[in-house]
Structure 1
Amino acid sequence: MCRGLESLPFTCLERAKELKALFGSLIQKSDHSITGQSKKDDKLRLNVDEPLKWMESFEKLLSSQNGLCLFRAFLVSEFSEENIAFYLACEDYRATKSSKLSTKAKKIYDQFIGSDAPQEVNLDHATKAITKENMEHPSQSCFNLAQAKIYTLMEKDCYPRFLKSCTYLELSRKAKTG
């Protein structure tokens, strides 16, 4: 049975619903792109072929703002949103100024890796130990191993399920027929 997006509780959900609706209207459009208004009055520019590109690779899905948003909404529906939240936190961390690395590293560690982390990601003991050791002298690369493990987990496990999800299958079907 397919679970819909309607039970997902966050801003990205609103965007995901809008994207689904906009892609749905592609059938009636002759142009190869469609523009819609989001609630924040920023324009959404969608390419008809965009959902099909997400199937090419996990990297292409994550590099698309719309794809990332729908993937995140999918992970929320599967109760595994901590994976993408951790991955994105690590991406943000790598761009952090040196003076703020220690504070931000502790925040990420406490949120996702520590023993009582509220959004604990699934990492093996060795990776956790290495990451904890890296925390003694935080650098932009201290989460690289943990982030790579979570990326691989999402790529091998979550991404294939996303491609088989009702929402993605519906969008890709509409893109193919649009």
Structure 2
Amino acid sequence: MCRGLATLPATCLKSAKDIKHKISFLLQKPEPQATDQKQIKEKADAVAAAAASASAKMPTQAEVEKWKESFSYVMSSQKGRKVFGQFLKSEFSEENLDFWVACEDYKKSTPSEMATKAKKLYQQHVETDAPNEVNLDAATREETRQNVQNACPSCFNVAQKTIYTLMEKDSYRRFLKSKLIQNLSLTQSTDADEKKKNCNYAQTKQTLTGGA
């Protein structure tokens, strides 16, 4: 038998060795079913992580109830400001919240960067015909203009307080009556209303998480 193999041409022996090598390689490859299961598990883990992240962005019922008690609770909460900001966008007045947040950030500026930031903030929100102009009376606008010339941590205080009061007395009242806050108010409901409540909550969740 061995003598017979020895008499075969070299090309035949090489082909036999190649076939043997390919068979060994195929035997070592993972089964398609096992590979598919691994991919399915990885995809499921990714979906679960995304769902957990989206849920973390949603306010709890306790948080929503706090927001309904006082505007200060809304503004002191990162989630509260985000939800309120979504409402302001629907009213095309998000510049008010943007200005208030920018003022808070400005107060944290170092002395060396305060002058530059003050000028930019003034040009963005305060001066007449600014890109995101807020609703200030002429006296407050002029006072702020003068303050910016000698930038200090408190130079926007009057303007910021004016906008805060405007949001509290005007936008916040409509916010409490809006569909957005009502959908977030997860109060006890009857079984008949449960499906509708869940649908509204899902729609609101999609709005706040950017479709996540």
- TM value normalised by structure 1: 0.74
CA distance in 2, matches of 1:161, 1:68: 15
Match of 2:188 in 1: 177
CA distance in 2, matches of 1:109, 1:145: 13
CA distance in 1, matches of 2:105, 2:123: 16
Q: Which has the higher contact order (CA 8 A, sep 6+)?
A: 1
CA distance in 1, matches of 2:130, 2:88: 18
Q: Which runs of 5+ in 1 are unaligned?
A: 1-34
CA distance in 2, matches of 1:117, 1:78: 19
- TM value normalised by structure 2: 0.62
Letter in 2 for 1:36: A
CA contact (8 A) 1:36 1:45 kept: no
Alpha-carbon deviations, 1:125-172, whole Å to 9, x = none?
000010011011000000000000000000000101100100101211
Q: Which runs of 5+ in 2 are unaligned?
A: 1-50, 190-212
CA distance in 2, matches of 1:43, 1:57: 23
Give the ranges of 4+ consecutive aligned residues of structure 1 lying more than 3 Å apart after TM superposition.
42-46
CA contact (8 A) 2:61 2:184 kept: no
Q: Aligned match of 2:137 in 124, 133, 139?
A: 124
For the aligned residues, what is the CA RMSD?
1.7
Letter in 2 for 1:177: Q
3-state SS of the aligned residue for 2:52?
strand
Residues 1:144 and 2:157 aligned together:
yes
Match of 1:87 in 2: 100
Match of 1:37 in 2: 53
Q: Aligned match of 1:159 in 162, 166, 172?
A: 172
Match of 2:68 in 1: 55
Q: Note closer, same or farther for the CA distance 1:44–1:116 as it changes in structure 2 (3 Å cut).
A: closer
Structure with the higher fraction of residues in strand conformation: 1
User: Following superposition of structure 1 onto structure 2, how do residues 108-123 of structure 1 map, counting pairs within 5 Å?
Assistant: 108-123=121-136
CA distance in 1, matches of 2:167, 2:161: 10
CA contact (8 A) 1:105 1:138 kept: yes
Match of 2:147 in 1: 134
Structure with the higher fraction of residues in helix conformation: 2
Match of 2:85 in 1: 72
CA distance in 2, matches of 1:86, 1:169: 26
CA shift for structure 1 position 36: 2.9
CA contact (8 A) 2:118 2:148 kept: yes
